[in-house]
Amino acid sequence: MSSIALKALRDTQQQLLLRRWRGLVWLTGDAQDCKHRACSLWLALSAEAPLWVSGSDDVPPEVASQMLPIRKARQLLGSEHDLIVLDAVSPGAGFDPDAFGALSGTLRAGGLLILMTPEHWGTAPDADYARLAAYPWQAESLSSHYLARLARLLGESSRVIRWSAGESPQIPEWPMTREPAVLPDDPDCLTQDQADVVARLEALRRRRPLVITADRGRGKSAALGIACARRLAAGDTEILITAPRSSAVEPLFARLAALYPHGDRCGLAFYVNAGAVRFIAPDALCERVARGEAGGLGQCLLVDEAAAIPAALLGQWLAAFPRMAFATTVHGYEGAGRGFALRFRQRLEQHTPNWQAMTLSQPIRWALNDPLEMLTSQLLMLDAEPASPSYGKLRRIELSAAELSHDEPRLRAFFGLLVQAHYRTTPSDLRRLLDAPDTRLVALEDDNGPQAVMIVADEGGFSPELAEHVARGERRLRGHLLAQSLAAHAGERDALTARLRRVLRIAVHPQRRREGLGHWLVEAERELAAQQGIALLGASFGAEPGLMAFWRNEGMSSVRLGLARETSTGEHAVMVLTATSTQGQLLEQRLVQRFHRQLPGLLAFELRELVPEIATQLLAEAPSVSGSSLWHDSDVQDLHDVALANRDAAMSRPAIQALLCHCMRAGLYTPALALLVGWAFQGRSDNWLATRLGLTGARQVDAWRRKQLTELLGCAELSTC
């Protein structure tokens, strides 16, 4: 390789370092040529902490010791590098958008990210989308709307160092600007923004939670670590940290270790004298809070990457812990910060009206206007926002991935709606949006752009033989989540042989909700499915009261609930569906009956820790048995003996369960009813009831229970529930 080319790139790195910026070098060509040039540059730059990332084992021997499989890229959160080579050119290497986003955030000022790709990236004629579905990030020889879009943007950008095979590097003209140094008033902090946040975290007050938002690279996790150190020094004995993944809080622990070198790091806990900072996963935290054990967990809870956790769970923790702080990324693969702010603000206003907000805006690892940060944001669409809300005439349209990939404003608005509505949108979702096979993109839009969007995919249609193997647990299929789960977990073979349609995502502009736009999309899809011979229309999502109410209002029935909470969200997955054909009606009826036959037993055992409000909504869906009485005569007597006399309520549990089911089917939803469900169906103790109600002693709990049963019994007997 030319020494002139190497010198030009070394000079470029120095220019970037002077400006405290970072750059992207885009190498194109065949695999061996790209790796040869990248390896030469690797040796010439003599960078500290270089990293070669690939999905292929075929790497130059000079870099083998610094090679990282691409599947482990997200484990690098909190690490720092001066040079990263990302291999998207080798056969089988693939391009992982999440990995690209994670890696770009670990580069220090003056660092280079070298991206190696084929010369005609994403435009090969063989569109084998079946293979693309099975191996989503290892299909680089296939035609890809997503990759073609990346190549087009990289080719048009004035921030990219382009280096094609047989040519000299094309280096941009960097503007002569340099960020002035401003020293913070806190010696442990790197920016004044960070110092202000640390001071506020040190002074957290009861029932005044702090919400911290920042773009990536602003030092929010480090600020949490500094604040933890200060609070331990001030006498806190235990501080709890939670996040979707333990790796997200590594910068926090790293800062703790730097400030307390004599401390002891043990797994996901850090001990200093009599104090401790502990990480607890969201699902484990939910289970402890549900058992009424939050008081013993410590007085302070810090939530990092809060946008990737459902607002309903954050609300539960908000009620359980007197001192809390929520930190989240505004834009980025960690979660959708703006959607978090919109959804969670209402809960904060309702439960803690004196909450406070702070923003970290000054970058730490690099300077403002960093070329790589702006380029990464554009390529991965990290800053996608919905179109402006408008109230013109709406039209329902179907968009092809091809036209959407060439229409950046519409794509940005479409993806922006998904980001706002969902707490776990990642850069990989943008690739799935443009490349996933057998999906359809639907929107309600006016002249301003999309106001509501939906993504649907078809499932099922397999042979009876394959369905039998899946139902018996002998085969697993890629994709087909709804159909496969109902066959494997509910034992319903017809769910795989029939044709199902699943709503993957649905989103409405935050300022246009409750106008019926979501209903319009679902209803139109229901009619279309019926015309096309689809048996069932369904969806799968995290069990959250608001979402469950939406789908129930759309006429969908719950047919499966996951037995374990998802680690990252603390929620159980629920599946709902509705029939769109005669075949579907019979299948839906069997699935609903099977589910509700299993539900009471599951609530008593495997789902004992399920949030009672969710259990209440599920029980309310139970179908009534035509022609049967509400309960046996003996149940009525038992209920009177408990409600109006002194019989032990536990000895009349079946009668109480029957009364609660009747009232739920009649549409009576109260917080008291949910608590009674927790006691009657899930075996929650009187101590649990006392904690939730703020009562002391078994007598007060018993009196409350009898009072509630008396009111429900009177309502039921008068048929006014």
CA distance 389 to 446: 10
Rounded mean pLDDT of 22-45? Answer: 94
Q: What is the pLDDT of residue 627?
A: 39
Dump the DSSP string for 301-327.
EEEESGGGS-HHHHHHHHHH-SEEEEE
Q: What is the pLDDT of residue 180?
A: 64
The answer to whether residue 310 scores a pLDDT higher than 80 is no
CB 485 within 8 A of CB 446: no
**Band of pLDDT at residue 423, cut at 50, 70 and 90:** low
Residues 6+ apart with CB under 8 A from 130: 437
CA distance 537 to 534: 8
In sequence order, what are the beta bridge partners of 563?
none
Could you tell me the CA-to-CA distances from 670 to 350, 561, 675, 721 in Å, in that order? 18, 22, 9, 12
Q: What is the pLDDT of residue 77?
A: 61
Q: What is the pLDDT of residue 182?
A: 73
Q: Which of 381, 293, 295 is closest to 331 using CA atoms?
A: 381
Q: What is the pLDDT of residue 539?
A: 97
Lowest mean pLDDT among 65-74, 136-145, 582-591: 136-145
The answer to whether residue 538 scores a pLDDT higher than 90 is yes
Q: Which two tokens stand for residue 458?
A: 């078809």
Q: What is the pLDDT of residue 130?
A: 37
The CATH class for the domain spanning 395-602 reads: alpha beta
Q: What is the pLDDT of residue 314?
A: 87
Give the other-Cβ count within 10 Å of 388's Cβ: 11
Q: What is the pLDDT of residue 474?
A: 85
pLDDT more than 90, % of the chain: 51
Dump the DSSP string for 510-529.
GGGTTSSHHHHHHHHHHHHH
Q: Which long-range contacts (CB under 8 A, 24 or more apart) does 123-128 make?
A: 123/148, 123/151
Q: What is the CA radius of gyration of the chain?
A: 28
CA distance 453 to 441: 7
Rounded mean pLDDT of 69-76? Answer: 81
**Band of pLDDT at residue 294, cut at 50, 70 and 90:** low
Rounded mean pLDDT of 79-89? Answer: 91
Residues 6+ apart with CB under 8 A from 401: 145, 433, 434, 435, 441
The answer to whether residue 567 scores a pLDDT higher than 60 is yes
Rounded (5°) CA angle 72-78-79 = 70
Q: What is the pLDDT of residue 46?
A: 77
Buried b / exposed e along 189-216 (16+ C-beta atoms within 10 A): bbbebbbbbbbbbeebeeebbbbbbbbb
| Single pTM value for the model | 0.82
The answer to whether residue 138 scores a pLDDT higher than 50 is no
**Band of pLDDT at residue 573, cut at 50, 70 and 90:** very high
The answer to whether residue 494 scores a pLDDT higher than 50 is yes
Instruction: Say whether 536 sits in a helix, a strand or coil.
Output: strand
- Residues 578-635: pLDDT tens digits? 999 999 999 999 999 989 989 999 999 999 988 898 999 999 998 865 434 456 667 8
Domain formed by 192-360, architecture: 3-Layer(aba) Sandwich (3.40)
Rounded mean pLDDT of 644-666? Answer: 86
**Band of pLDDT at residue 534, cut at 50, 70 and 90:** very high
Rounded mean pLDDT of 295-310? Answer: 78
Residues 6+ apart with CB under 8 A from 68: 51, 52, 53, 76
pLDDT more than 70, % of the chain: 90
Q: What is the pLDDT of residue 471?
A: 81
Pairing of strands 449-460, 499-508: antiparallel
**Band of pLDDT at residue 721, cut at 50, 70 and 90:** very low
Residues 6+ apart with CB under 8 A from 215: 329, 330, 331, 332, 360, 361, 363
Do domains 3-164 and 395-602 share one topology? The answer is: no
The answer to whether residue 719 scores a pLDDT higher than 80 is no
The answer to whether residue 195 scores a pLDDT higher than 60 is yes
Residue ranges of the domains in the chain? Answer: 3-164, 192-360, 395-602, 633-717
Give 580 or 135, the one with higher predicted confidence. Answer: 580
Q: What is the pLDDT of residue 377?
A: 92
Q: What is the pLDDT of residue 131?
A: 40
- Residues 217-251: pLDDT tens digits? 888 999 999 999 999 999 899 999 999 888 788 88
**Band of pLDDT at residue 1, cut at 50, 70 and 90:** low
Rounded mean pLDDT of 252-259? Answer: 92
Give first-to-last CA distance, the chain, whole Å.
82
Q: Which two tokens stand for residue 249?
A: 């809080």
Domain formed by 3-164, architecture: 3-Layer(aba) Sandwich (3.40)
Rounded mean pLDDT of 100-129? Answer: 80
Q: What is the torsional sign of CA 112, 113, 117, 123?
A: negative
**Band of pLDDT at residue 137, cut at 50, 70 and 90:** very low
- Residues 326-370: pLDDT tens digits? 998 776 544 444 556 656 777 788 888 899 999 998 998 899 899
Helices (H), 321-438: 337-351, 371-380, 401-405, 408-421, 427-435
Rounded mean pLDDT of 690-715? Answer: 89
Q: How many helices (H) and strands (E) does the chain have?
A: 27, 21
User: Which of the residue ranges 93-97, 558-562, 712-716 has the most confident prediction, judged by mean pLDDT?
Assistant: 558-562
CA distance 212 to 140: 39
Residue 459 amino acid letter: E
CA distance 112 to 25: 7
CA distance 315 to 310: 9
Could you tell me the CA-to-CA distances from 99 to 155, 306, 335, 364, 684 in Å, in that order? 21, 20, 15, 21, 43
Rounded mean pLDDT of 689-695? Answer: 87
Helix axes 427-435, 408-421, angle to 10 degrees: 120
Could you tell me the CA-to-CA distances from 140 to 56, 92, 116, 148, 634 in Å, in that order? 13, 8, 12, 11, 69
Element (H, E) at 704: helix 698-717
In total, the chain counts a number of residues equal to 721
Q: Which two tokens stand for residue 474?
A: 């002998």
CA distance 397 to 453: 10
Q: Which two tokens stand for residue 698?
A: 């078994």
Q: What is the pLDDT of residue 290?
A: 74
Q: Compute the mean pLDDT over every residue in the chain, rounded to the nearest whole number.
A: 86
Q: What is the pLDDT of residue 341?
A: 62
Rounded mean pLDDT of 132-155? Answer: 70
The answer to whether residue 132 scores a pLDDT higher than 50 is no
